[in-house]
Amino acid sequence: MNMTKSATQFAESGIKLNNEKKIKKDKKPLIISVISVSMFLLLWEIASRNAWINPLFISSPIEILQASVSMVQEASFWDNMKVSGYEFLAGFALAILVGIPIGVFSGWNKYFNAIVNPFISGLYVTPKVALLPVIVIAFGIGPASKIVIVFLMAFFPIVMSAQKAMVTLDQNLIKAARTFNASEFQIFKTIALPSTVPFLLNGIRLGIGQGLIAVVVGELFASTAGIGYQLTSNGQNLQTDRMFVGVLIITITGLILTSLLGLIERRFSSWKPDHH
């Protein structure tokens, strides 16, 4: 009895030790990343203080931090944030609502794919920025034109990820389902749709980056409000520190959103078909 108890305690202590080692290993990349970013910011600050770089082009980290503290107290800053946030969310939601069904059904049905794929392929290789003048003429300089460009930029990673999900379906599962006389709708609902989730999350994550770029580019081109408009205004007035605050906001927003999607994506990673 005592020997069994000792063996159990030894096994439990071994598992605990392995878990502690795993946690320590997992922390190492994070520590290295923090040190790397800290060193970069320190070198940036030293270069700015010693005038190794022209302050008209690049401000120092401390000056950017001071500018951000000042800007968050201004009502205009939050107004611009609201405008950009609305444009991004509206355009991105539209890209998801349109992109996922088209991608899934075009990947599932070869006839539907034959109808939509020439348009998807043609628009995918078209530079979206080149369409900005036409979009602005059609929708004006208000939020509508930015929503359209966000939609166009975010749509393609989403729709193409959905198509890829359908192409990489496990054919053995589909054959097995058909041997049990499962209908096409049952196969689509129980096998095809769940298999798309990891691919869709990856496409949405890529679409976030494209959508944020679209908001800024659209507002830089023609707008009266938003983060991109603020960047243009600060750049024209040579307010480099305030300009970098806008860049930093877009970067942080993108990092937060993609990190959240990354966590969800890892949760569903086991659903991906394994091709080995």
Tokens of 214: 């679209």
How confident is the model at residue 148, as a pLDDT?
Answer: 92
Predicted confidence (pLDDT) at residue 119 exceeds the cutoff of 60: yes
Q: C-alpha distances in angstroms, 266 versus 163, 202, 271, 272?
A: 20, 10, 10, 10
How confident is the model at residue 170, as a pLDDT?
Answer: 65
Question: Burial of 208 by CB count in 10 Å (0-12 exposed, 13-18 middle, 19+ buried)?
Answer: buried
The highest-level CATH class for domain 61-271 is: mainly alpha
Predicted confidence (pLDDT) at residue 206 exceeds the cutoff of 70: yes
Give the distance from CA 184 to its chain's centroid: 33
Predicted confidence (pLDDT) at residue 3 exceeds the cutoff of 70: no
Which residues, in sequence order, are CB contacts of 91 under 8 Å at separation 6+?
146, 147, 148, 149, 150, 151, 154, 211, 214, 215
Residue with tokens 């059609």: 138
How confident is the model at residue 228, as a pLDDT?
Answer: 84
Predicted confidence (pLDDT) at residue 16 exceeds the cutoff of 60: no
Q: Secondary structure of 150-164 in the HEC alphabet?
A: HHHHHHHHHHHHHHH
How confident is the model at residue 97, as a pLDDT?
Answer: 93
Mean pLDDT of 228-249: 82
Best CA proximity match to 197, nearest among 103, 89, 93: 103
Extents of the domains making up the chain: 1-53, 61-271
Give the distance from CA 156 to its chain's centroid: 13
How confident is the model at residue 88, as a pLDDT?
Answer: 92
User: Over the stretch 212-222, which tens digit does the pLDDT of each residue have?
Assistant: 888 888 888 87
User: Over the stretch 127-151, which tens digit does the pLDDT of each residue have?
Assistant: 877 888 888 888 888 888 899 999 9
Ramachandran angles phi, psi of 226, nearest 5°: 115, 170
**What pTM was computed for the model?**
0.74
Query: Highest mean pLDDT: which of 30-34, 78-82, 171-175?
Result: 78-82
